[in-house]
Structure 1
Amino acid sequence: MNGYDLIIFDYDGVVADSELLNNRVLAEVLTEAGLPTTPDESIAAYLGRRWLDCVPLIEGRLGGRIPVHVHSDWSRRCHERAATDLAPVPGFLDFLASRTERRCIASSSPVAWIEMGLDRFGVAETFDGPIFSAAVHVTRGKPHPDLFLHAADAMGVEPARALVIEDTTTGVRAGAAAGMTVIGLLAGGHVRDGHAEQLTAAGAHHVLPDYAAITAFLTTNPGERR
């Protein structure tokens, strides 16, 4: 058999170019809560994690409980800025239109955040199955493989027949642990020097600069496996 039966997309940094937006806002609200944080520090510490998994990291740095309003402030401000600032990752829409594989999203973000972006980009109806969110569908988030395994099982696809596109080390580790082929994508605005090396060290089978490179990979290596 050639190709993959399913492409599993992460969302932030893979579908929506939202990682920088998210982490700029998170840095703002954490700074206001008494934990001075820059966007780059936020990216380094929290990128790819569910809020639930960020909480102990933040509280460890803060030295106490997070004020109850922090999460709601972060979510509200992200949605407000997304109304004008959110855009798809460059090349994503053309890539999506060119592929015939089944596709789904498996992300650490809340379903409402993902739905908003898909509607904004006009592609909500082009994904198969529900949105798989670590916030609601599994007990353990990335880097554990649970979300990707849940998505593959729900879609009726063997893990070895799935291709994961991820942009974070936590997501790459999750996809690799699930026994899937993992592409580390470097197309988002949050990518910094050294990111490719980090994704490789996390277990990405291929690290590619953009969606054109993914298209070329799938064209020249249609049956490649891990």
Structure 2
Amino acid sequence: MSGSPPFDLIIFDYDGVIADSEILNNQALSEMLTAHGLPTTVDEALEAYMGKRWRDCAPVIREKLGRDLPDEMLVDWTARCEAAAETTLQPVAGVQDFVAACDGPICVASSSPPDWLALGLQRFGLAEAFGDRLYSAAVHVERGKPHPDLFLHAAREMGADPARTLVLEDSTAGVQAGVAAGMTVVAVCAGGHIRPGHPERLMAAGAHHRINDYAALAGWLGAEPEV
């Protein structure tokens, strides 16, 4: 299996696509927001913030709180996530075998900061497979998802034509970004955060195809789908 025709590049989102970390992240976020006076459930956090970088979440949280955010909020969230990751962070089932079977160019393009990406990739034994091809909306572009900037930046860095690039995403913001970039987008519904109705929302956001596991994705790529 490879990033075979018609795809010259596969771009992986990270949280929920490589790392099964959406529940971990949003559990920490919901607890933090609740502690700061904004009662928030995990499902509410997933719906409002999944797939977006902190810089874009902060104004939404500020408006809901009705006051400025404490300076330490991002530091607090990062610390909570990293502490939970030590014992609970796991890869999305099947992603390691899928990556090992890829013989074409691959990279990561995520809203999360580079240190978080590196932490999980090292833990999962995938650091070498991706090397330094890690692109973060937190540092590499001015506009985050759902804008196409990050995916277009990744494609430029990788020397790939967006029209021949496949994006693997699990959030509506990410799907919208990939579609806006002119790429083919597969909705990856293999993580533990997938709730009833979420796959349908990803398709409504413009995803071209959806898969429930990486074996299905490998099979779909092997069929050389029309795009």
Q: Mind listing any 5+ residue stretches in structure 2 that lack a counterpart?
A: none
**How far has the Cα of 1:3 moved from its partner?**
3.4
SS in structure 1 of the partner of residue 144 of structure 2: coil
Q: In the alignment, is the contact (CA less than 8 A) between 1:102 and 1:128 conserved in 2?
A: no
SS in structure 1 of the partner of residue 69 of structure 2: coil
Give the one of 84, 96, 100 matched to 1:81: 84
Give the one of 125, 131, 134 matched to 1:131: 134
Q: Distance in 2 between matches of 1:67 and 1:28?
A: 15
Q: Which amino acid aligns with 1:224?
A: E
Q: Distance in 1 between matches of 2:211 and 2:121?
A: 23
**1:196 maps to which residue?**
199
Q: Distance in 1 between matches of 2:149 and 2:67?
A: 30
Q: Which amino acid aligns with 2:146?
A: P
Number of matched pairs:
224
Instruction: State yes or no: 1:44 paired with 2:22.
Output: no
Q: Distance in 2 between matches of 1:172 and 1:128?
A: 24
CA RMSD of the aligned region, Å? Answer: 1.1
**Residue identity (%):** 57
**1:15 maps to which residue?**
18
SS in structure 2 of the partner of residue 106 of structure 1: strand
Q: In the alignment, is the contact (CA less than 8 A) between 1:140 and 1:146 conserved in 2?
A: yes
- Where do 1:57-136 residues align within 5 Å? 57-127=60-130, 129-136=132-139
TM-score by length of 2: 0.96
Moved over 2 A (4+): none
- Where do 1:173-188 residues align within 5 Å? 173-188=176-191
Q: Mind listing any 5+ residue stretches in structure 1 that lack a counterpart?
A: none
TM-score by length of 1: 0.97
Q: Distance in 2 between matches of 1:129 and 1:116?
A: 13
SS in structure 2 of the partner of residue 189 of structure 1: coil
SS in structure 2 of the partner of residue 164 of structure 1: strand
